């Protein structure tokens, strides 16, 4: 049976179609059971995220299995299969293993190095296990995929470079303050990007959070969402004196934080640094603020430069990760090939051992006067002959299986030695 993966992703399918195909966990349980129950895929895992829908399976005919799986999926989602079929890709055996490893390690993601996909793959695998649709082949594949993804994370720096503006701002703040635990944050304006930056800061331990906005109700709503405190707009300068990090995104046509206001604030801070993340266009923080002692300011262009540099770093680390995955694919296929031929090797050895034991008994029956030494010599001679005869076919079976051509040799050995029909 062949190992395969079939599906579509952000690389070849529009978001509108991916949204239509996305399926929640309750329906996913029903789907994987239905697919396996059709009798074509004894093993199946379905991965459904916002950026990909993929079916991993084991089947005699991957093309037939793919058609069946997506026919069931489209039926569940009320979609015409004819609009999906032309977009589907299929990877078999070595390519399927490579794809699974790359997906788990986030090398096939829209944002290379993002951490969410590994958790999503683990959830899909766990759901399939709970539905009892995972057998030895997929269990081995996904277990190794998780191990490879962990190695990519620990042995490369693919995930250690911020590639979003909001997270890049947080990384800069961490460098300035040597950690963000208990650092107070002020949001000036309630834009989406500033909210996202604030959430990243809170995740890194920053607290408390204050929100100042010209519309008081909006300040209250956002402060509540961040477990923070709303600050009246006319108390903005006072708030600047009490916090460590200021995130601005107001949409105002002129700066709302002036150099003079910051100069007044810094007199009472006694050397405590003040860090501005200005992600507004036009800018909210007046240029020249960062000429003041202990004041740091980064605007959207600064942050985009950081993101661009980090994307290039990720690309370099991705090359290292790809090389690691290639080595692991080779190792996995060798192990998988060995697993496939082991039952045949065991049967072959048992068959020849049965013949050897029978012939030794008949020979010794004709030599009733044989000494213990002679009997031992006959046993050793016959065992050595069997081992030598087994060496060539066993070696050939392993080599052909690792090269992807093991099936014909397995069938030949079963036929030649009357080992019976393989399961």
- Average pLDDT over all residues of the chain: 89
Per-residue pLDDT at 412 exceeds 90: no
pLDDT confidence of residue 337 = 61
399 vs 408: CA distance, rounded Å: 12
Q: How confident is the model at residue 423 (pLDDT cuts 50, 70, 90)?
A: very low
Given pLDDT bands bounded at 50, 70 and 90, which one contains residue 422?
very low
Tens digit of pLDDT for each residue in 31-50?
999 999 999 999 999 999 88
**pLDDT of 179:** 86
Q: How many CB atoms lie within 10 A of CB 253?
A: 7
Tens digit of pLDDT for each residue in 136-186?
Answer: 889 999 999 999 999 999 999 887 765 777 778 888 888 888 889 999 999
Residues 203-225, mean pLDDT to the nearest whole number: 93
Least confident of 55-59, 96-100, 294-298, 412-416: 412-416
Burial class (CB in 10 A: 0-12, 13-18, 19+), 395: exposed
* pLDDT tens sequence across 123-132: 999 999 999 9
Whether the CB-CB separation of 153 and 317 falls below 8 Å is answered with no
- Of 38, 50, 346, 376, the catalytic one is 50
Over range 69-94, report the average pLDDT: 94
Mean pLDDT of 80-105: 95
Rounded mean pLDDT of 407-415? 74
Has residue 397 got a pLDDT over 80? no
For residue 421, pLDDT beyond 60:
no
CA dihedral 47, 50, 52, 55 (to 10 degrees): 20
Are 170 and 201 in contact, with CB atoms under 8 Å apart?
yes
Name the pLDDT band for 405 (thresholds 50, 70, 90): low
Angle at 39 between CA 37 and CA 44, to 5 degrees: 70
* Minimum mean pLDDT range among 44-58, 278-292, 304-318, 382-396: 304-318
Mean pLDDT of 69-79: 94
Helix (H) or strand (E) holding 306: helix 300-365
Give the torsion through C-alpha atoms of 243, 249, 250, 251, to 10 deg. 160
Domains contained in the chain, CATH given: 2-155 (3.30.460.30), 165-307 (3.40.50.720), 341-416 (no CATH)
Tell me whether residue 74 is one of the annotated catalytic residues: no
Q: Kindly state the tokens that stand for 237.
A: 């300068």
Most confident of 172-176, 196-200, 202-206: 202-206
Interhelix angle 165-177/192-203, nearest 10 degrees: 40
Span 369-396, average pLDDT: 90
Query: What pLDDT does residue 221 have?
Result: 93
Q: What is the pLDDT of residues 240-285, one digit of tens each?
A: 999 999 999 898 999 999 999 999 999 889 899 999 999 888 899 9
**Interval 379-386 mean pLDDT:** 92
Q: Which residue has the higher pLDDT, 362 or 337?
A: 362
Determine phi and psi for 92, rounding to 5 degrees. -125, 140
**Arithmetic mean of pLDDT, 372-396:** 90
Sheet holding 295-299, edge to edge: 229-231, 209-212, 185-188, 245-248, 274-278, 295-299
pLDDT at 217: 94
């Amino acid at each position: 049976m062949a190992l395969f993966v079939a599906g579509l992703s952000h690389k070849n399918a529009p978001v509108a179609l991916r949204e239509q195909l996305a399926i929640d966990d309750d329906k996913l349980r029903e789907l994987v059971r239905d697919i396996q129950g059709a009798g074509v895929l004894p093993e199946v895992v379905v991965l459904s995220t916002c950026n990909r829908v993929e079916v991993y399976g084991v089947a005699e005919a991957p093309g037939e299995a793919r058609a069946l799986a997506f026919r069931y999926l489209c039926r569940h989602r009320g979609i015409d299969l004819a609009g999906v079929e032309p977009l589907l890709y299929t990877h078999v055996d070595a390519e399927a293993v490579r794809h699974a490893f790359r997906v788990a390690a986030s090398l096939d993601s829209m944002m290379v190095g993002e951490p969410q996909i590994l958790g999503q793959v683990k959830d899909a695998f766990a759901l399939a296990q709970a539905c009892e649709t995972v057998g030895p082949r997929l269990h081995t594949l996904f277990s190794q995929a998780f191990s490879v993804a962990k190695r990519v994370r620990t042995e490369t720096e693919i995930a250690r470079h911020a590639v979003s503006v909001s997270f890049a701002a947080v990384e800069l703040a961490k460098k300035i303050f040597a950690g963000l635990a208990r650092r107070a944050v002020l949001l000036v304006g309630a834009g989406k990007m500033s909210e996202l930056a604030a959430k990243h800061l809170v995740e890194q331990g920053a607290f408390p959070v204050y929100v100042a906005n010209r519309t008081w109700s909006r300040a209250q709503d956002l402060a509540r969402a961040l477990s923070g405190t709303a600050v009246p707009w006319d108390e903005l300068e006072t708030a600047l004196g009490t916090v460590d990090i200021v995130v601005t995104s107001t949409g105002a046509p002129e700066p709302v934080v002036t150099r003079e206001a910051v100069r007044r604030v810094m007199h009472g801070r006694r050397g405590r640094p003040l860090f501005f993340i200005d992600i507004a266009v036009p800018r909210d923080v007046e240029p020249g603020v960062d000429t003041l002692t202990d004041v740091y300011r980064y605007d959207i262009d600064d942050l985009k430069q950081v993101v661009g540099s980090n994307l290039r770093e990720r690309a370099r680390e991705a090359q290292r990760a790809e090389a690691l995955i290639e080595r692991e694919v080779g190792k996995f296929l060798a192990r998988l090939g060995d697993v496939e031929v082991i039952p045949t090797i065991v049967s072959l050895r048992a068959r020849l051992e049965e013949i050897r034991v029978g012939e030794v008994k008949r020979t010794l029956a004709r030599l009733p006067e044989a000494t213990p030494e002679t009997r031992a010599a006959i046993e050793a001679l016959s065992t050595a002959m069997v081992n030598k005869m087994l060496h060539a076919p066993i070696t050939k079976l392993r080599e052909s299986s690792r090269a992807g051509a093991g099936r014909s040799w397995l069938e030949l050995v079963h036929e030649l030695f009357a080992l019976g029909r393989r399961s």
